[in-house]
Amino acid sequence: MPLIGEKKFKYINKPLPRVDGVDKVLGRAKYAADLFFPGMLYGGMLRAGISHGIIINIDTTKAKNIPGVWEVLTHEDFPKTKSWANYMYITNKVRYVGDVVAVVAAETREALEEALKSIKVEYEELPGVYTIEEALKEDAPAIHEHAPDNIFKDSCFPVRKGDVDKGFSECDVIIEREYTTQFIEHAYIEPEACVAVPNPLDGTMTVYSSSQNPYFTRRYIADILQCGVHKVRIIQQTLGGSFGGKEEGVGLISARASLLAKKTGRPVKIVLTREESILESSKRHPFRFRYKIGAAGDGKIKALEAQLVDNIGAYTNQTQYMNFRAAVHAAGVYEIPNVKVDVYGVYTNNVHSGAMRGYSSPQVIFAQEQVMEELAEELGLDPVEFRKINALRTGSITATGQKMVQPVTIHELMDIIMDKTQFTEKRKIYNVETGPKKKGIGMAICFRGCGFGAEAVDAAGATVTALEDGTIIINSGLVENGQGLKTVYSQIVAESLGIPVEKIHFIGVDTHSMPDCGMSVASRGTVMGSQAMKIAAQQLKEILKRTAAEMLSASIEDIELDEGIFYVKNNPEKKVFFSDVCNTQLWTGRQMSVFVWRQPKELNYNHKIGQGDAFPTYSYGCVAAEVEVDTETGYVQILKVVSCHDVGTAVNPGLARGQIYGGIAMGMGFAVMEEVETNKGIVANLNLDSYLIPTALDVPEMEALIFECDDTEGTYGAKSLGEPATEAVGAAIANAIYNATGKRIRNLPANLERVLLGKDLKAGGAN
């Protein structure tokens, strides 16, 4: 296995400490809820509490007369009720339990709570739809006028490769299976928060928010205020976790706070309670998977046909992008000559689904890695050998017709995992164990397209600025969500310039200082987003080399920069400090800053048939999980997870391992524990006392293995890891449970009832 450190870099490929770590540990980091401004009011929302209905009457008289209440607004007071992204700022037509029907601004939290409780709303309740099957019935109530059949048309993505009918005719074994997954909550530590600060003199609005995408948030605010985008400034605060959940929700509360701030002329802060956060934020999409797959007697898969339907909930502006990715990856990391896939989403009267770490992959990989093992078993083949027969190799053609020209390393990763875990030997031992507690080991493999690919334009910009003392300020429109972006970007600039990391400062995102670089999602921050940062640093280095050459009376070609010192190649004693060059650069009026905008190469992908190059390159992963199942209670204890990932180049191996450890914990929750429980759209577990996530006492022994290869697409060869770290864990655990019990888990989570009784319970309104 290529080991960390074999690549010859100075500042990257090293586990340097996080540049923002000390502030967070010492409590100096400022979160949006920490901020206070003179004259600040507190804002809050009244939510519907029903899943489908129309407001007949709403009485705010009592609320308006409460001392300290400055503003009470209903749908009649908003300049518009529907946002640019189709979510509702406020509504009189309720589509899910979390819909907002009134907003209030008050001097104190106590007055705010009293006002919200005093608002009286009369509803005409309507019949709702909550499962995929209910939503697709011919006589089902339509949730949105634009989708009379409850199908979100923009979320439909096909993949057509070869001839599946011909492929199935060549098969010796064909199986058909159905799998489902559940609603999952992000459960970040920090609930959503913002403070909107108006400037009555020029009509501008400055908002400090816990936003994963400040530019999205800016668009919501300009939309509700009916003003130019230039009138809105977002200053991102430190995030206490996001994982995809602080996109729509933070935009909506920031818009409501801004409208209240405009009407009152005073700053307005909104901080969601945990209950509100669970209602307002998007959830991981529940899926229903129907797979038909066949293979010849030698184990070679000949055809795959799949229908993937996701439960959108009441609103969406993410499903179309997520379903593109689901379609591309629906056949897994396997070379299959004949593929037919259809993916689409349906509206229901549930909490809405959206971006969450993995962006469809945890669900898709769970289903496909179960069906692969079920097919292997029908063929009488070892599941590992079956995977090796069919797994992609360099030069293989994917389900979307893409030739894999970059290194495909999945076979190497499987070999590493098999050796590291003694996988084959343990399966044999566990298969013959007796007693009420049985152990099992399972594995799963995966690949993931890096960046946006053909999903969206993967462009981004960066600014690198030298100061007169030799320090550097860097800036990007991509944000630090807690994943370590500030540290990684500092290392990349240090590598590109040739100066120590401690001389570099990433100022963070202020929408007035950088253009929109797209969302910090899709694990694109390092692999694609930092390309502009690298190029800008390299260009600045060349600019400064000219001044250094003059100061050293040498040619530019003979100048090198290392450890913050410019020197002449053939005469290292002839040198000048980087800081002195920067000082001269300033006082001679020369360029001190470089801005670069990078747009990646265009991918040739046909969305109508799902054929072409879907992504510039792919990450690969292999995960093995060991479990112990109490067959008398159904309790599953995760004993150990070993996770191996090809990251191309590990810019910071310490952060990479942290991503893998966190991904294992999230994958474990997805597999055996977490579920947003709904009954006719009403959420049962609105706090972390009833919505259970893995704690330090639950997580297993973990081992993170980082594999590197020579990939030419990403920055310094880096590939995606943040989302791949969690996406195959649930599938591996499910396969381990089967190895222990002989009962196949086809509906997640693998809770006590499913494991003990083998019940195919309907999960989270998915079916």
Q: With 90 as the cut, is the pLDDT of residue 375 above it?
A: yes
Q: With 80 as the cut, is the pLDDT of residue 522 above it?
A: no
Quick one: residue 610, left, alpha or beta (phi over 0 = left, psi -120 to 50 = alpha)?
Answer: left
Of the pLDDT bands very low, low, confident and very high (cuts 50, 70, 90), residue 764 is very low
Rounded Cα–Cα distance for residues 484 and 360 (Å): 23
Task: Please choose, from the candidates 621, 647, 622, 644, the residue with its C-alpha nearest in 3D space to the C-alpha of residue 713.
Answer: 647
Q: With 70 as the cut, is the pLDDT of residue 344 above it?
A: yes
For residue 759, the model assigns a pLDDT of 60
Task: Please report the sign of the dihedral spanned by the C-alpha atoms of residue 622, residue 600, residue 329, residue 675.
Answer: positive
Q: Which residue has the tokens 């060869």?
A: 717
Considering the entire predicted model, what is its pTM? 0.95
Q: Which CATH fold would you assign to the domain 287-453+606-757?
A: Aldehyde Oxidoreductase; domain 4 (3.30.365)
Rounded Cα–Cα distance for residues 217 and 442 (Å): 42
List, in sequence order, every residue forming a beta bridge with 440; answer none if it has no partner: 627
Q: How many CA atoms lie within 13 A of 358 on its CB side?
A: 29
Task: Please choose, from the candidates 370, 228, 393, 426, the residue with its C-alpha nearest in 3D space to the C-alpha of residue 733.
Answer: 370
CATH of 32-127+186-280, one of 3.40.50.10140, 3.20.20.70, 3.40.50.20, 3.30.365.10: 3.30.365.10
For residue 6, the model assigns a pLDDT of 73
Beta carbons of 677 and 764 less than 8 angstroms apart: yes
Q: How many CA atoms lie within 13 A of 474 on its CB side?
A: 34
Question: Which two three-digit tokens encode residue 316?
Answer: 């969406």
Mean pLDDT of 703-718: 94
Q: DSSP letters of 323-350?
A: HHHHHHHTT-SB--SEEEEEEEEEE-SS
Q: How far is CA 514 from CA 132, 156, 464, 672, in A?
A: 42, 34, 12, 42
CATH 3.40.50.10420 fits 21-28+459-598, yes or no: no
Of the pLDDT bands very low, low, confident and very high (cuts 50, 70, 90), residue 529 is confident
Mean pLDDT of 417-428: 96
Beta carbons of 400 and 614 less than 8 angstroms apart: yes
Rounded Cα–Cα distance for residues 192 and 237 (Å): 11
SS (H, E, C) 650-679: CCCHHHHHHHHHHHHHHHHHHHHCCCCCEE
Asked if the domains at 21-28+459-598 and 287-453+606-757 fall in one CATH topology, the answer is: yes
List, in sequence order, every residue forming a beta bridge with 308; answer none if it has no partner: 289, 343
Mean pLDDT of 12-28: 92
What residue segments make up the domains of the chain, in order of their start?
21-28+459-598, 32-127+186-280, 287-453+606-757
Percent of the chain with pLDDT over 70: 97
For residue 1, the model assigns a pLDDT of 44
